[in-house]
Every structure is written in C-alpha cells, then in structure tokens.
A = this chain, B = another copy of it.
Amino acid sequence: MFVNPHIGSPVTAKCCASISFKRSDIIYNQGDAADHWYEIVSGAVRTCFFNRRGQRQVTAFYYGGDVFGVDNCTYVESAEAITDLMVRAHRLCPDDADEICDASGIFRRALDLSRQRVVLLGRKTALQRVAAFILGLPSIGSDGNRRFLPMSRADIADHLCLTIHTVSRIISNLIRNGIIRIENKKFLVINSLEDMLDISGDEQIGAEEKYNTGIAIYNNVVNAQEYRKWIVHKS
C-alpha cells in the first residue's frame, strides 16, 4: 500500500487530519492506492491525468471548500497544489464508504463534469472555451465579477486542450477589447458579464436570433422531431 509521505499511515483519527502543502507539491499520484479524500481549507488544486504518450490533461481545478480525491481503490488522476495549500485529509476505507454520504452520487457528479468537458472540447472554439473557463472561476468577495486565477497558462491550456500560445492570445484579446482585466497577476475582473456569456456560448435559450450568427453550429441533428419534443419538454 502506498504511504503518502505528507500524511504518514495510518491516520489514527478516523475523521481527518489537517495538512499543508507548498506550491506544486504532489498530494497523490495517479496509480496510488486511494486511501484518503481531501477537503480544501484554503488554496487551489489541480487534478491531472497523464496518458501513455505523456500528454497531460488537467481534468479539474478545486478551490476552498471543494472536495477531491474521492476515488475507488486507486487514484485515476494525480493531484497537485497550485498555490500553498491547506487541506483536511479524510480516511477512505472500502468498508466504511458510507462515511462519504453517497458514493454513486460522487461518481455522478464526476460524470456530469466529464460530460460538460466533452461538450466543451467537442463543440467549442478556443475563444468559447477560454470564456467558459473564466466564467467558471471562483468569485472573490462579494463582487461576483472578481475571480481568482491562481493557475498558469500551461494549466489552463492543458485543461482546455489548447496551447499556451492560443490561451495567451485570447486572454490578451479579451483584455484589449475591455471585456476583462487582470489585477495583480492572480485576479481577473470581468468588465462585461454579458459579453462573456455571449462569447462562451453558454447563454440561455431565448436568444435564437444569435444561434446562426458569429459562431458556427455544425451539429447534424437527425431526429429533429425528438429534439423538438425535448425542447418543449424542458421549457
């Protein structure tokens, strides 16, 4: 069994232990035995998946209050600290999985996230991806438009499956157009939420007139009858 050097093993208290990590510390590695799950007290984390060819995918970012590392038996991704980090580690035993209230619920959430990523990667342009990513950053303080941006361009690129060049160019463009601005490197302010929503392609139904402008729609809806039915069903 893999022993996390930062925690030691076994953790005596069933519930939790507080641990701090430094920036770019590894919390656990892909392939390690999944013996703990984590709750972020402060800081930010990225989870990464490396495939056989060495391509890194940043599968998710987590911030204060989030939970990560709820894997089964073996971690399928590794987790690394993006900033200095404080977490509470919880023991994860196969036989007291009920400790985490609903195991299948957690997989379900992961599945939803993954499916969102499929939409993002399969159907969105680089500009739309970056905009959607920025909209998903955690808000800072009471102003909903100030966002925390702790990760590097490489992290963003590997999350959105783009190059750092493209990410950098797009962010520069958004700044040049006055839609966002950067404060102190690690904070991002959205000047025009409306523009961002518009660009990201995530705006609500009801703006049909925009559907065929600007951004390519290239789906091949075959069973349009069903699609119509569903739209009616939802609205």
Interface string of A158-194 (1 = CB under 8 A from B): 1001011000000000000000000000000000000
User: Shortest beta-carbon distance, A77 to chain B, in Å?
Assistant: 9
**A220 to B72, alpha carbons, bound, how many Å?**
28
Asked if A158 contacts B57 (CB within 8 A), the reply is no
Nearest residue in B to A218 (C-beta to C-beta)? B163
Q: How large is the interface on A (under 10, 10 to 19, 20 to 34, 35 or more residues)?
A: 35 or more
Does A141 belong to the interface (CB within 8 Å)? no
**A154 to B154, alpha carbons, bound, how many Å?**
35
Q: Inside 8 A of A121's CB, which chain B residues have their CB?
A: 118, 121-122, 161
User: Shortest beta-carbon distance, A48 to chain B, in Å?
Assistant: 8
**A31 to B235, alpha carbons, bound, how many Å?**
12
Q: For chain A residues 87-137, which have a beta carbon within 8 Å of chain B?
A: 103-104, 107-108, 110-111, 114-115, 117-119, 121-123
Asked if A53 contacts B201 (CB within 8 A), the reply is yes
